[in-house]
Structure 1
Amino acid sequence: MSDVRVRRAERGDAPALLAMLVALSRMHGREPTIGLEAFERDGWDEPARFQAWIAEAADGAPVGFVQGFPKYASWTGGDWFFVANLWVEPDCRTGGVGTALMAAVEAHARATGRTRIELTVARDNPAVGFYRRLGLTDRGDYRMALDLAPL
């Protein structure tokens, strides 16, 4: 898909981004609980909790997105960018959309003084090969979490 355009997502893109986020979540066997109002608030109210880019086909149809946020590494004192979600519509995969989205993230990271891009991916996810081709390396870390129930 050589005629893809990637741009910083705007509030008006939120419904399309949320629809792709739902598809991504369901692909991983999860049901998202965030609604459109909260998604818009988190992405576009100040302070924004994430940044996002959208990929569009020549006709303007959304074909992918990437979403992430800045992080701070206290052990190095450096700022880096964490990619939380990357989605490309199934019929557009292997056409350069994911590469274009990750290039937008890299450009943003470099322009904002970030020293690294990091993400988490399941070991059995076919996207592991894609990330390796982009130069990301396996750090061998575990991803651990503790879900907090309301008190």
Structure 2
Amino acid sequence: MPDAVPSSAAVSARMSRQVSRDTAPEVAVRKLLHSAGLRYRVNVPVPGMPRRTIDIVFGPAKVAVFLDGCFWHGCPQHATQPKANAKWWRAKLDKNVARDMETTKHLEAQGWTVLRFWEHESPVSVAQAVARTREAATQPSRRPKRTS
């Protein structure tokens, strides 16, 4: 992005004010998880990666949940490409997608289960998928016990 710059200070300021945590989809999913009796932490720093956070974390189970916005994270169904300053935006949004993939690989390499959902997905189906994954992650191994 060396020769691409934001189109104006006003646009840059407006975009920097966009909500990045406690979005409506995040809150809806968290309410469903909480009402199902699941306890979690929110906006937890990614271990070993500064300036990156996980939206919902089930620490002991090592399950990380991300609820990605369609515009900022490149949803294949809903992402749009701004026409003004298109080169700068393409580079910015591509960098976001690359950072998401890097974060996922980093966490998986440390033994985490990473779940990513789009903001347009049903909070009920997201919460159900998260609950199933968390349940599976906390089940003791089902390997047969050895009897000498």
TM-score by length of 1: 0.33
Specify the structure having the higher radius of gyration (Cα): 2
TM-score by length of 2: 0.33
Instruction: Give the strand-richer structure, 1 or 2.
Output: 1
Relative contact order, higher structure (CA 8 A, sep 6+):
2
Instruction: Give the helix-richer structure, 1 or 2.
Output: 2
